Structure 1
């Protein structure tokens, strides 16, 4: 009996790896979020050209996060990187309702053309520290999240101050570990 419990305990503590894709329009804050989570600080703010791959550890899981640049001329590459992800993190700039409409269209296009409907979706409503930021209820309404088929969570964040980042990781951890098997 003791040997069995020891084996179960080891399996629970062993790190599991998951492939997470982080997408969003340019300037939403994807790279800043990854910098804060991995490095604990914000590096020089620049637009992502291409993609960045980061490994992040939270509790007993390791996220391999693919930050796919949001620039219009790079969006066609997403289809290749969205093959069999464990979850999608979609980052939006919550200060501009017009850009949220475009973000909604991009999210719908992404889900429709890649066949990833039903996997965990974490939406990070970034830049909530700014006075013109829309409330998360409005962000949810504009993005039409209640019609998503699968588990989803909308988290208000401020990447530069780390507000909501660890809560986002926690919700992602819960959605993945309760619903998915490791890759």
Structure 2
């Protein structure tokens, strides 16, 4: 009897989990994006003031529930020495958020090269990719068309994966919800890697 009840509990209350990587160069706005995501999708969440966010050394993690699913977001530090650790997470992830600083014209080519290197990794083959053109609230932000041209998000660069480039302001929260929902739909529809199953808690 216990096994039957346990089986029914697992069937009705388990959640499918998707692991999402948030990567990009240092100071692109990854942790601010993560904080805004938590504010949007976690009830009664009282986050840290956005102006007090500091550089990520290692990893920040957030768990958000979307409908009957759960997304585990890994925000990885973007400093050059920390980029060497990114591939340790590739094998588990279902989708990628790549954050670009729309105002940092000096490092835009570097950002492009880092993106291409990540997308060519065998463990990220066909993983849906959301590119966030961040800091679009600022006057010196490059327009989306120029960023698209520079990043060159064609099939040679990103392969056959689902890809979307979206203008956002992580600081203001603009475009954050739309981006997360697009990526959720892509990983939910993808057959690339089965979701993990966890009991609802």
TM-score exceeds 0.5: yes
TM-score bucket of the superposed structures, by smaller chain: 0.7 to 0.9
Deviations 1:144-176 (A, max 9, x none): 112222101111110111100000011112211
- The question of 1:179 aligning with 2:187 is answered no
Give the match for residue 129 of structure 1.
Answer: 137
> Measured at CA, do residues 155 and 14 of structure 1 come closer, stay the same or move farther in structure 2, by a change above 3 Å?
farther
RMSD over equivalenced CA pairs, Å: 2.0
- The question of 1:73 aligning with 2:84 is answered no
Instruction: Report which of the two structures shows the higher radius of gyration computed on alpha carbons.
Output: 2
Instruction: State the secondary structure of the residue aligned to 1:28.
Output: coil
TM score, norm. by length of structure 1: 0.86
Give the match for residue 119 of structure 1.
Answer: 127
Q: Decide which of 157, 177, 180 is 1:166's aligned counterpart.
A: 177
TM score, norm. by length of structure 2: 0.79
TM-superposed deviation, 1:119 = 1.1
> RCO greater where, 1 or 2, for CA within 8 Å and sep 6 or more?
2
Give the match for residue 97 of structure 1.
Answer: 105
Aligned residues: 174
